[in-house]
Structures are given as C-alpha cells and as structure tokens.
Amino acid sequence: MQGLLTNLVIFIVMGCGWGLKRQRRLTETGLKELNGLLFSLLMPVSFFKAGLGFNASMIRGWRFAAVLIGAYAAATAVLWVMSGLRKIAPERRAVSMLTSVRPNAIFIGLPVMTLWLGQAGTEAQLLFVAVGTPYFNLVPLLMSQIAMSGRGDARSLASALARTVKNPILLAGICGILVGALGWTPYIPQWFARVLKVLGDCGNGMALLVIGAALVPERLWSDIKSAWPDMFMKLFIHPAIVMAAFMLFPVESPVVMQAAVVGSAVAPAFNCYVLARGFGMDADYAAMLVASSTLLCMVTLLFWMEVSLRVFA
C-alpha cells in the first residue's frame, strides 16, 4: 500500500505539471529555463545531498559489492547489444543506456522495501544504494555519451568520458560520496544542511512537474508500445541478471540479495529526464519512459518480490 501511495503522490505532482502546460502557464521557454535551473543547481544539490548518506562501514566485506556491480556491468553490456540491434536513433539509444540501469532507489525503492521487509529491508536498501550509487551516477552517463556519438573508438570514449566528468550533477554526486565516505557528514553545519534539504526538495518536486509537462496522455498507449523494449529491459531483464548473479555467487544474508533483485526492478530514476534534456538526448521519450515505467513497476515488483523470496529463502 505504501508503494501505491508513493506512486499516487508522484503522479499527482506530474499531473500538476501536465495541467499547467495545457493551460499555457508553462511555456516552452519557461520549461527550458526550468531545465537549466535543474541541471545547473537543483539536481547537483540533490546528488550531493544523496552522496552525503554514503557510509562505507555498511559494506561488510566486498563480496556483495563485487557481485552487484558485476551484475550491473553485465546488464549494461546486454543492454548495449540489444539497443544496437534495434537500429534506433542515437538520441533514443542514449536514453536507453541512461535509464535501464538507473533505478529510482530512494523515492520508490526505499518505501517499497521498508513496507515489504521492515527495518531489515530498509538497511538492505541503504546498502544497495551505498554500493550502487557510484556506478549509477557514472557508467550510464558515460555509455549514453558513447551512444550519442555513435562511435566506440578510443578517441570517442575519451571524449565521452571528458563530457561526463564535467557534468555538474556527476561532480556534485562524487563530492557528496567522498564527504560521506570520509565520515565528514556530521560536521556539516546545520544551517548548510537545511539549505541542502530545501534546494534538494525543490529539485525533486520541480523535476516531477517538468516531466508531467512533457507528457502527452493521448499518445501514451502508442508511446508504451514503442518503448516496451526499454521497459522490458529495466523491469525484467535487468533484475533477472542480478538474480542470476547472486544465485551463482550468493552472500550470507538472504535479505540483501532479495533487496538487490527487487531494487534493480524499480523504474528509472526521475532525474533521468533532467539528464536527458541537459545532454541533448530524446527528452520527450525519457519523460514518457520514466512515467509509464513508474506505473508499471508497481505491478512487476510484486512478481520479483515473490520470486526472490522463493529463490533466496
């Protein structure tokens, strides 16, 4: 129920954005300015704030981290091959690379895991986020840049890496992770922490409004039909690869394996749209993919919950 209520709130806020655009209170110029604000200030603050929660002491041994990151790397490789076979435009392929291994681990994953597994689920999800955040914030961005260039040679790879590391959102996330990993988060002044919270909350709400403004509900069914390969990859193939990895290389705690599988089956993160817009990808496709996948995952997560409980009993 908590997961459904979380989604209800998300879609109400996106609906507000949709209504404002239809009433022409949000113009195309205004949306471009909001995207600029999100990309240059609000999303970097959100990523920095999220990184502050990184706690290296949560990673007890490196087996879980190695298996999880290995599974994500395998999923990324599978996605690269599958998206290449589809012969789609570089801007849309870039969105595929960006969204299919970047789950909405906080806004959807955390409340769902808490409701499902209680305190143990909360701790397992936080471990999942701590281990996965560096990968989530770097590799999909890098691969999307390579997809945009349409080339995979050494020069193109170096150019894509350079563009990726200059991204203010990525830089802010890395700085936040370093502060958290060094244990300096408690020393941040309270007034500054409150500034981060206010700006971070603004970013999350504004991102949802902008996503909603980009939606065209009358085209939603046809959009879902055109986007089903990416939805299938994110909601089924990706968690299946993660599950297979932990079946081959299990860790001691069944709960963390269950959390890894279900956490990987969550819809793409909302900020994928902001990143897609900021990097010149197919942002309308990204908005549709994020919104529709968020709705669908409330059903598909039930499947992965049941399967992971049986496999990792």
Q: How far apart are CA 249 and CA 254, in angstroms?
A: 12
> Of the segments 43-47, 52-56, 205-209, 258-262, which one has the largest average pLDDT value?
258-262
pLDDT at 100: 86
More confident residue, 167 or 262: 262
How much of the chain, in percent, has pLDDT values that exceed 70? Answer: 86
Report whether 294 contacts 104 (CB < 8 A): yes
Q: Does pLDDT of 160 surpass 60?
A: no
pLDDT at 150: 67
Domain count, the chain: 1
Q: Which of 87-96, 138-147, 153-162, 186-195 has the lowest average pLDDT?
A: 153-162
Supply the DSSP symbol for 57.
G
Grade residue 238 by pLDDT with cuts at 50, 70 and 90: very high
Question: Does residue 225 lie in a domain region?
Answer: yes
More confident residue, 252 or 194: 194
User: Per-residue b/e over 47-84, b at no fewer than 16 CB within 10 Å?
Assistant: bbbbbbbbeeebeeeeebbebbbebbeebbebbbebbe
Report whether 128 contacts 259 (CB < 8 A): yes
Question: Does residue 79 lie in a domain region?
Answer: yes
| Residue showing tokens 């020069």 | 155
What CATH number is attached to the domain comprising 80?
1.20.1530.20
pLDDT at 33: 87
Question: Does residue 229 lie in a domain region?
Answer: yes
SS3 category, 268: strand
Q: Does pLDDT of 111 surpass 80?
A: no
Question: Does residue 23 lie in a domain region?
Answer: no
pLDDT at 118: 79
CA distance to 139, 163, 196, per residue, from 40 (Å)? 20, 15, 14
Q: What is the pTM assigned to this prediction?
A: 0.73
Range of the domain at 44: 2-7+30-311
Grade residue 275 by pLDDT with cuts at 50, 70 and 90: confident
Q: How far apart are CA 312 and CA 246, in angstroms?
A: 9
Please compute the mean of the pLDDT values over residues 15-20 and round it to a whole number: 89
Question: Does residue 24 lie in a domain region?
Answer: no
| Residue showing tokens 């949000």 | 26
Q: Does pLDDT of 84 surpass 80?
A: yes
Average per-residue pLDDT for the chain: 82
Question: Does residue 124 lie in a domain region?
Answer: yes
Grade residue 134 by pLDDT with cuts at 50, 70 and 90: confident
More confident residue, 235 or 150: 235
Q: How far apart are CA 263 and CA 254, in angstroms?
A: 14
Question: Does residue 230 lie in a domain region?
Answer: yes
Q: Does pLDDT of 3 surpass 80?
A: no
Question: Does residue 133 lie in a domain region?
Answer: yes
